[in-house]
Amino acid sequence: MDSNYGADSIQVLEGLEAVRKRPAMYIGDIGFKGLHHLVYEVVDNSIDEALGGHCKNIEVSILEGNSIRVRDDGRGIPVAIHTKEGRSALEVVMTVLHAGGKFDKDSYKVSGGLHGVGVSCVNALSAHLQVDVERDGHSYRQEYKCGAPQYPVKETGTSTRRGTTVTFKPDGDIFTQLVYNYDTIAARLRELAFLNRGIRITLTDERELDDNGKVITETFLSEGGLVEFVQYLDAQRQALTQPRFIEKTRDMVSVEVAFQYNSTYNENVHSYVNNINTIEGGTHVAGFRRALTRVFKAYGDKNNFFSKMKVEVTGDDFREGLTALISIKVPEPQFEGQTKTKLGNSEVLGIVDTIVGEALNNFLEENPKEAKIIIDKVCLAASARHAARKAREMVQRKSVLGGSGLPGKLADCSSKDAELSELFLVEGDSAGGTAKQGRNREFQAILPLRGKILNVEKAMDHKIFDNEEIKNMFMALGVFHNEAKELNMIKLRYKKVVIMCDADIDGSHIVTLILTFFFRQMRELIENGYVYVASPPLYLVKKGKQFQYCWTEEDRETAVKRLAGEGDPSKVDIQRYKGLGEMNAEQLWETTMDPETRTLRQVTIDSGAEADRIFSMLMGDEVPPRREFIESHAKYAKIDA
Ligand code: 0RA
């Protein structure tokens, strides 16, 4: 029987061959992101089953050897022979692209990963996959290698439960990274739990126990949904209003919005379409903004709240200190933009606008006290924006002048090609001096930053643009904000910006300050993949003329053993680098700056909402959560993938 199945395998492989040939086309990439995407793709199927009301619990396990198991208590994928296909429906679902929805007429699929490829794609990219179905009192199984079934669906026994369990091991011939990151998966599952209230999702890491010998496991279940999500994001901020919730469906588009105002000056609007984070926004966000501006403006005008204002109140002003989540579900989303995370459906704009507009009107009429608090904040924002614009324009006028527009502290490189040029932001003048000596001046520029830069998380824009270090960064980079606070990068002078700080707690705090600045003021640079963090070594291990730089404790131990050889390990000299200043120019070059030998860590944003929460926690007023976070995440928060 098993060998007979070979013939079918060939047919299957023809279908899935395309996926194995061009995996990146289906799952984005074949590195860390793509690897994790496989998990999300499988979980999405279970989420769909839950959204249809057929499933309450989803269990995700990271197994020993970095296999993944996803188990749900849904109806179970049908196993009966599909007459037209001549084989089990289960096999078709697992081996034919986009076959998932075919056997389920009564539900329209909303969840569906960013690339919406379905579980067959995961199968194609797995060295081994096993699916177990329990339904109608029986249990069934089929296994696959690289997507090819190893035998027809077989009955494995009886069962009183219902559900589907998919266990897979990503193919090492396809992926360049095979190790799963618990926090990355946890962040996505937490987000899914908030976005789909009432679904219990558990994550268990079976690879190791925690420091107390306990199993690493978390359960994500939100009864409050988006309202709880807003509170979670704003946990470290001071709320000015109660969270509000709007929920309505029109023309098959379901709209959910939760928002609250806090005492900061940041806009935190995060949006989702069919559970996908629409980082680039789109028509749903446009509809929300339009309603917000229109309704608040009309309310303020009607009550004469703006009459004393010397400046015009604009849309931006209504969003300062606003944390909002927009989650819509659309039957046929059109994704656009560079990263396909921008919703294009034009009909959605009016739908969201109307639904949010009506709800906001009611809210303002029924809650005059909260309305006044918000309007006062809006007026403050408008005045501050006016002041900030002056400060910003000063910086920008200088930065676009060229020549004399460069900061005095900048040691520029000779290349004028942004593609090749690198800007090192270096903590402190002394390390800056060493970096200047050590660099390759052809393509490496050095900008020393003085000690702690301004914490932009707590400052208003006019303070931010008055800050010397921040002005220097804008001028050196040659970028500026337009009226809508979008970053103009036409004159960007370097396409690699490397943050280089000491490898200690103070250094990592400064990295975080600088990253906060980029995240809040120049997020586009991060989104384009231009921002990096340097990794200076922690140790120099030396014996006689032999030496080795080390980046981890394990590195150091091996180096000591190697250099000691048969001899006495205590004869090996270990130098702990406390700061960049302890290295001479040559050492700094060969360990940290030389493109041939250095390790740079690219800064990426997995989830805008999670990054927002982490920055508010790291840079906000409350000290304990910050300390706890930094201690539990070793060197640098988890803002780099
Ligand atoms: C097709 C039809 C039916 C359920 C499913 C697929 C299904 C797929 C997945 C994937 C993961 N978990 C799942 N659970 C169910 C409906 C079958 C029926 O009508 O009983």
Give the list of residues 6+ apart from residue 599 with CB closer than 8 angstroms, or none: 535, 551
Residues 456 and 520: beta-carbon distance below 8 Å: yes
Mean pLDDT on 242-247: 96
Identify the band that residue 641 occupies on the pLDDT scale cut at 50, 70 and 90: very low
Q: What is the pLDDT of residue 111?
A: 54
Contact 460, 317 (CB under 8 A): no
User: How many whole angstroms separate alpha carbon 156 and alpha carbon 141?
Assistant: 7
Which of 88, 164, 199 gets mutated to test ligand 1 (max ligand atoms within 8 A of its CB)?
A: 164
pLDDT band at 552; cut points 50, 70, 90: confident
Indicate if the pLDDT at residue 9 is higher than 80: no
For ligand 1, is residue 78 a contact (CB within 6 Å)? yes
pLDDT(599) > 50: yes
Tokens of 42: 């499988």
Given the residues 316, 358, 504, 555, select the one marked as catalytic. Answer: 504
Listing DSSP states for 247-288 in one string gives EEEETTEEEEEEEEEBSSS--EEEEEETTEE-TTEEHHHHHH
Classify residue 397 as exposed, middle or buried by CB count within 10 Å of its CB (0-12, 13-18, 19+). exposed
Strand (E) or helix (H) holding 120: helix 119-124
> Does the structure show a pLDDT above 90 at 572?
yes
How confident is the model over 286-304, as pLDDT tens digits?
999 999 999 999 999 999 9
What distance in angstroms lies between residue 74's CA and the mean position of ligand 1's atoms? 7
Supply the Cα-derived Rg of the chain in whole angstroms.
27
Q: Which of 120, 155, 135, 139 is nearest to 73 (CA)?
A: 135
The residue extents of the domains of the chain are: 2-220, 226-381, 402-533+601-605, 539-595
Q: Classify domain 2-220 at the CATH class level.
A: alpha beta
Does residue 164 line the site of ligand 1, with CB under 6 A?
yes
Confirm or reject: Cβ of 45 under 6 Å from ligand 1.
yes
73 is annotated as an active-site residue? no
Say what the pLDDT of residue 456 is.
86
Mutate to test the pocket of ligand 1, among 49, 56, 134 (most ligand atoms within 8 A of CB): 49
Determine the Cα–Cα distance for residues 193 and 567; give it in Å rounded to an integer: 57
Quick one: pLDDT at residue 509?
86
Is 205 among the catalytic positions?
no
pLDDT score of 14:
63
Q: If you measure from the C-alpha of residue 414 to the centroid of ligand 1, how many angstroms do you get, rounded to a whole number?
A: 61
> 540 — phi, psi (to 5°)?
-120, 120
Question: In this predicted structure, which of 118-127, 251-260, 391-400, 418-427 has the lowest mean pLDDT?
Answer: 391-400
Query: Which residues, other chains included, contact 170 with Cβ-Cβ below 8 Å and sequence gap of 6+?
Result: 35, 38, 66, 125, 126, 127, 178
- Most confident option among 97-106, 276-285, 462-471, 572-581: 276-285
Go through 17-42 and write b for each residue having 16 or more CB atoms within 10 A of its CB, e for each that does not.
Answer: eebbeebeebbbebebbbbbbbbbbb
Q: Would you say residue 435 has pLDDT above 80?
A: yes
Q: Are 497 and 425 in contact (CB under 8 A)?
A: yes
Average of per-residue pLDDT across 133-138: 97
Q: Which pLDDT score, from 0 to 100, does residue 634 have?
A: 41
CB of 46 closer than 6 angstroms to any ligand 1 atom: yes
Range with the poorest average pLDDT among 171-180, 329-338, 457-466, 535-544? 457-466
Class of domain 226-381: alpha beta
Q: Which amino acid is at 456?
A: V
Separation of alpha carbons 514 and 473, rounded Å = 10
Element (H, E) at 424: strand 422-427
Q: Determine the pLDDT at residue 522.
A: 94
Q: Which amino acid is at 636?
A: Y
The whole-angstrom separation of Cα 51 and Cα 8 is: 34
Q: What per-residue confidence (pLDDT) applies to 98?
A: 74
Which of these CATH numbers, 1.20.140.10, 3.30.465.10, 3.40.50.670, 3.40.50.300, describes 402-533+601-605?
A: 3.40.50.670
pLDDT confidence tier of residue 639, bands split at 50, 70 and 90: very low
pLDDT at 49 over 70: yes
Q: Name which residue leads in pLDDT, 629 or 452.
A: 452
Does 636 have pLDDT greater than 50? no
- What distance in angstroms lies between residue 198's CA and the mean position of ligand 1's atoms? 19
Could you identify the atom of ligand 1 that is nearest to the CA of residue 42? Answer: 11
Distance 139 CA to ligand 1 centre (A): 14
Find the 102 Cα to ligand 1 centroid distance in Å. Answer: 10
- Residue 254 CA to ligand 1 center (angstroms) comes to 23
pLDDT digits (tens, 9 = 90+) for 452-471: 688 888 888 888 888 889 99
Mark whether 183 is an active-site residue.
no
Average pLDDT taken over every residue of the chain: 89
Q: Residue 338 has which token pair?
A: 């560079």
Q: Does residue 630 have a pLDDT over 80? A: no
**Residue 214 and residue 600: Cα distance in Å, rounded?**
34
Phi, psi for residue 23 in degrees, rounded to 5: -55, -35
Which CATH code fits 539-595?
A: 3.30.1490
Mean pLDDT for 472-489 is 90
pLDDT at 387: 82
pLDDT level of residue 116 (50, 70, 90 thresholds): low
Q: How far is the CA of 133 from the centre of ligand 1 (A)?
A: 10
Ligand 1 contact, 75 CB (< 6 A): yes
pLDDT band per the 50, 70, 90 thresholds, residue 230:
very high
Confidence of residue 448 (pLDDT cuts 50, 70, 90): very high
Q: Which atom of ligand 1 is nearest to the CA of 166?
A: 11
Residue 130 alpha carbon to ligand 1 centre in Å: 16
Q: Does 104 contact ligand 1 (Cβ within 6 A)?
A: yes
Most confident residue range from 494-498, 580-584, 631-635: 494-498
Q: In testing the pocket of ligand 1, which one of 44, 45, 122 has its CB within 8 Å of the most ligand atoms?
A: 45
More confident residue, 19 or 627: 19
Residue 626 has pLDDT above 80, yes or no: no
Ligand 1, atom 8, lies closest to the CA of 77
Nearest protein Cα to ligand 1, atom 4:
77
Query: Which string of DSSP letters, residue by residue, matches 180-248?
Result: --HHHHHHHHHHHHHHSTT-EEEEEEEEEE-TTS-EEEEEE--SSTHHHHHHHHTTTS-BSS--EEEEE
- 187: CB partners within 8 A, 6+ apart: 606, 607, 610
Q: Determine which helix (DSSP H) or strand (DSSP E) holds 290, and give its type and residue range.
A: helix 283-302
392 touches ligand 1 (CB under 6 Å): no
Total residues belonging to the chain: 641
Give percent above pLDDT 70 in the chain: 90
pLDDT at 567: 87
Atom 12, ligand 1: residue with shortest CA distance: 46
What distance in Å separates the CA atoms of residue 81 and residue 368, rounded to the nearest whole number?
Answer: 63
- Separation between Cα atoms, residue 224 and residue 233, nearest integer Å: 14
User: Quick one: pLDDT band at residue 632, thresholds 50, 70, 90?
Assistant: low
SS3 540: strand
Query: Is 77 close to ligand 1, i.e. is its CB under 6 Å away?
Result: yes
Region for 319 from its dihedrals, namely left if φ exceeds 0, alpha if ψ lies in -120 to 50, beta otherwise: alpha
**Using 50, 70 and 90 to split pLDDT, how confident is the model at 3?**
very low
* 214-223, 391-400, 526-535: least confidently modelled range: 391-400
Among 506, 524, 555, 594, the one annotated catalytic: 506
